[in-house]
Amino acid sequence: MVELQAAQLDTVFHALGDATRRQMLRELANGERTVGQLAEPFAISLAAASKHIKALENAGLIRREVRGRTHHCRLAPGPLASAHEWLSFYERFWTERLDVLERLLLEEQARDQSTEPKEGEDR
């Protein structure tokens, strides 16, 4: 089970590792698009767009439906939730680390302010 989850996460992060695919996902968040519509903003062929779409499909991030000769794609957000859950662990880690850093900096600032000579005083 863990191996399956790790393999799925690897596939999701691989798919998200490409800027073109991330932009395609962002576009699909606004609604269903055809392969042609997804390819349009990029200087790529329909064949190249199909390869990107296949990577997203393999990761489970999109669903493709064929209607006649037109391929329609829509976002399948489930795997994004798994990736978000995985990243949340590190978000908590960095939030805790940054909270400690903030506390240390505030303590240092308070020490510096308490040791500064007051106006009219000599050191």
Residue 28 lies in a domain: yes
Residue 19 lies in a domain: yes
Residue 42 belongs to domain with CATH number: 1.10.10.10
How many structural domains are present in the chain? 1
Residue 63 lies in a domain: yes
Q: Per-residue confidence of the chain (123 residues) as pLDDT tens digits?
A: 455 477 888 999 999 999 999 999 999 999 999 999 999 999 888 899 999 999 999 999 999 999 999 999 999 988 988 888 888 888 888 888 888 899 999 989 988 888 777 666 665
Residue 8 lies in a domain: yes
Convert the chain into a string of H (helix), E (strand) and C (coil): CHHHHHHHHHHHHHHHCCHHHHHHHHHHCCCCEEHHHHHCCCCCCHHHHHHHHHHHHHCCCEEEEEECCEEEEEECCHHHHHHHHHHHHHHHHHHHHHHHHHHHHHHHHHHHHHHCCCCCCCC
